[in-house]
Amino acid sequence: MIILANERGTADASQSSEKKVGRRSFLKVAIGIVGAVVAAAVGLISLRKPKEPPVTPGNQTIQTPVTATSVTSATGGQAAQLVAFNGKIITVDPNDSIVEAFAVDAGKITKVGTNEEIKASIGDSTQVIDLKGRTVTPGLIDSHCHIGGGYPEIYYLDLRPGKVNSITDIVELVAKKVKETPRGEWVLGFGWNPAYWSDKRMPSRLDLDPVSPDNPVFLADMSGWYGWVNSFALNLSGVDENTPNPLGGIIDKDKTSNMPTGLLINHSAMWLVKKPVPSQEQMEEGILYASNLFVAEGATRIEDNWVRGKDLLTAYQTLNGRGEPPSPTDIYYLVNSEDEAETGLAAITSVQKKFGNRVSLKGWKLQVDGGAATAFTYEPHNGYAYSVPSLYPETLKKIVSMLHKSGLQICIHVIGDKALDSALDAIEAALNENPRPDHRHRLEHVVVSPSKESLERIKRLGVVISTQPQFIYYSGDTWYRLFGEDRVQLSAPVKTPMDMGIPVALGSDYPCSPDTRPQMTLWSTVMRQTITGRVIGPEERVDIRQALRLHTMGSAYASHEEGMRGSIEAGKSADFVVWSDDLYSMSTDKIRELKAELTIIEGQVIHKSSDTELEVIPGSQYTG
């Protein structure tokens, strides 16, 4: 999802000729520039030091195997593999029950109840967790992120806030890297964002050219929707003043000479520059790195909505064969044209066979528009363009019709209101042609407020809204400037669709978002407050109980998995999180500060915080 925006009235590029960066240090930077008005939105990824091992806080990534056993408990019944008791366990079942304890066998919850009821299942080999009054919830499910994009944090120049403060800082880092790089080889970087620079302009190839005359340079912004390149890279790729804008993309050009400025907006324009792709091994490492970030924050399942190309598919297949990544992951394959849809459909049966329990291929991903600055809308906005779809409506209808017949879900990226209606037109046409109950096709993001009529169509068609409220905090002020107050009241809508009976799921959109914390998503869903304190769409606020349900059962429903996970109930996967505080009773503003002390996936302790006093002990040592 694009966050960076070049707004009207702001200087653009044509007007201008390894220390650790933690999340807290980034937030200090963010708070320090709250009042700055820059032609960019805030789109931040979780700030981690490159090349650090992808481990949980305290370097404690733990996997405790849970296998079936016939050992009996002290009362003569069958012993459980894991028992957790003496806690406030928020089940998120249909009655929002709160219980004291539960038991696990073979990775599934077998019983919930009182301490005494559950402790009767403890045997010598049972793993025992005395929760000491801690609050437990189902594991959080991220309905929209891209852990397949984790590798830049390990391999590329880190240009994120806190690391650089200006264009000059970036040029110096590029110059240093060029000295270490053979002539003709690429220099790659990620994470730049002008909102955090002292400069009040967008960057240009002219900034990079003096320090990189013999090396192509490609620097992606934080959102992943902007590329900043030098002249060498443009020449190498054959992009010049005569190159037309590709469908859905913009080659920013000097208003006088018509020469490319070095800014490429949206994926189709960025893809004109043929930079090297990471190896399969690097992709695998990036996936594991990002997955561990999520696990450390209490996320127990991931829905990766942007898997593009054979190499990334193969990386996921390889990891699945090894029982990885740590967070079970559903993936959706990106399609950009009718030809790609045909190719994908021809291969889908054989491809699906190479996935399994750890990684599953759930469906397809389409993009109707780019991001906020190029949102496809009915009315003009203050970005680059408002009438530039990534797929023309008639083409979109053909592709959706083709993919719908596969029986899999379709996730459709929509930022603008016209993009949303185009997606609904395509879904409705496909359903009329081939009716299919319970398809659960999805709209991803939904930034420009949908109309009442559009919301009614969403409900009637059985479509899911998958949105990311934490963008309100980091990008809401930019949305306000781009679209105006009226058009952001239903940005990232939650309460209105929920009250209408429309399924809603929550996610982070990592690495386009500030961090991997579901706590931040929960807080933003409740508060809907921007970084400057403005409230965007106060009528869309929900309480923490509702937010938690959307981030667990809502996200599980979005991938047809509400019967398997999303609540702490007998028969469901034993995915749960032990928190540092009670999110139901703590101050609302403190929700984003919650810490995951233990993260358990399928009955295995995957993460244990170095700060927790909780222990997992064998039943033979339990003396309670």
Please name every residue paired with 596 in a beta bridge, in sequence order, or none if there are none.
Answer: 579
DSSP 3-state of 331: strand
Find the helix or strand (DSSP H, E) in which 28 lies.
helix 23-32
pLDDT given at position 542: 98
Of 322, 320, 327, 225, the residue nearest 555 (C-alpha): 327
Q: What is the 8-class DSSP label of residue 59?
A: G
Bridge-based pairing of strands 226-229 and 217-221 is antiparallel
The Cα 191–Cα 43 span in angstroms is: 9
Residues 394-435 have pLDDT tens digits of: 999 999 999 999 999 999 999 999 999 999 999 999 999 999
Radius of gyration of the chain (CA): 24
Q: Which residue has the tokens 């905090």?
A: 473
Tokens found for residue 273: 């520059």
Say which CATH topology domain 58-136+594-621 has.
Urease, subunit C; domain 1 (2.30.40)
Q: State phi, psi for 6 to the nearest 5 degrees.
A: -95, 105
In whole angstroms, what is the distance from residue 221 CA to residue 521 CA? 22
Edge-to-edge strands, sheet with 299-307: 140-145, 299-307, 329-334, 359-367, 409-414, 442-445, 464-467, 504-506
**Encoded tokens for 338:** 């009718």
Residues 6+ apart with CB under 8 A from 262: 13, 203, 204, 205, 206, 207, 208, 228, 229, 230, 231, 234, 252
13-40+152-270: CATH topology: Diaminopimelate Epimerase; Chain A, domain 1 (3.10.310)
By the 8 A CB rule, do 592 and 523 touch? yes
The CA-atom distances, in angstroms, between 362 and each of 132, 299, 365, 496, 534 are 39, 19, 10, 27, 37
- pTM, rounded to two decimals: 0.90
Residue 41 identity (one-letter amino acid): A
Strands (E) across 59-210 are located at 82-85, 88-90, 98-99, 101-105, 108-113, 127-130, 135-138, 140-145, 157-158, 187-192
CB 90 within 8 A of CB 553: no
One fold for both 13-40+152-270 and 302-557? Answer: no
- The separation between the first and the last C-alpha atoms of the chain, rounded to the nearest angstrom, is 51
Q: Tell me the C-alpha distance between 153 and 264, whole Å.
A: 21
d(CA 435, CA 198): 55
Show the low-confidence residues of the chain (pLDDT under 70): 1-76, 514
Determine the pLDDT at residue 195: 74
Per domain, the residue ranges of the chain are 13-40+152-270, 58-136+594-621, 302-557
CB 308 within 8 Å of CB 333: yes
pLDDT tens digit sequence for 88-119: 999 999 999 999 999 999 999 999 999 999 99
Please state, as a whole number, how many other Cβ atoms lie within 10 Å of the Cβ of residue 351. Answer: 16
HSE-up (13 A, CA, CB side) for residue 367:
25
Compute the distance between CA of residue 228 and CA of residue 212 in angstroms, rounded to an integer: 13
Q: At what angle do helices 310-321 and 280-296 cross, to 10 degrees?
A: 60
Say what angle helices 417-433 and 452-461 make with each other, to 10 degrees: 30
**pLDDT value of residue 35:** 36
State how far the alpha carbon of 510 is from the alpha carbons of 150, 281, 309, 323, 566, in Å.
Answer: 9, 21, 19, 23, 21
Q: CATH number of 302-557: 3.30.70.270, 3.20.20.140, 3.40.50.10800, 3.40.50.1820? A: 3.20.20.140
Q: Give yes or no for a contact between 589 and 544, defined as CB atoms under 8 angstroms apart.
A: no
For residue 373, CA distances in Å to 401, 416, 507 come to 29, 10, 21
